[in-house]
Amino acid sequence: MELADLLKTAASMIQKNGDDTTAGLDENHIVNALNTLVGNGAGGLDLVKFVGGLSQNGLGEIVGSWLGNGENKAISMEQITTLLGAENVATFASDLCLSKESAARALANVIPQVVDLATRGEGTIMDEMLANTGGSNGAMEMLSKMFR
């Protein structure tokens, strides 16, 4: 799934998450704010934001559950803020004129699903990442260094 499609899906999820403060937001506005938050500037999802520093913040098991197939573990508003960075969540909130709490709640609901969609099946961002790291052995070596 292309990043633009992922972001539109995420924007729709945010609009329909049951929070009155996000229900009336413009989809394009949400897409732009999400792209700033999770995009890599080259039309892809910045997975480094999700895997960088996982061993330090103890969220590796949660984020790992979002990659590929299988059940996604939930993440709290506090944990998503730790994962993405308080400043990044505050910028996302400001871009959409939301409170930090509403922004963190929306992100905690949507980010696991977006990462899951981006890494599920064949021809995904995960396949591209594996190709760029020397296949599964290269990826495992890279991940082992992060968790040492």
Tell me the pLDDT tens digit for each residue of 84-101. Answer: 889 999 999 999 999 999
Handedness of CA 2, 4, 7, 12 (dihedral sign): negative
**In contact, 59 and 82? CB cutoff 8 Å:** yes
pLDDT at 42: 77
CA-angle at 62, arms to 135 and 41, nearest 5°: 55
In this predicted model, what pLDDT tens digit does every residue of 18-40 receive, in sequence order? Answer: 889 999 999 999 999 999 988 87
pTM: 0.78
**pLDDT computed for residue 64 by the predictor:** 82
List, in order, residues 6 or more apart from 86 with CB less than 8 Å away: none
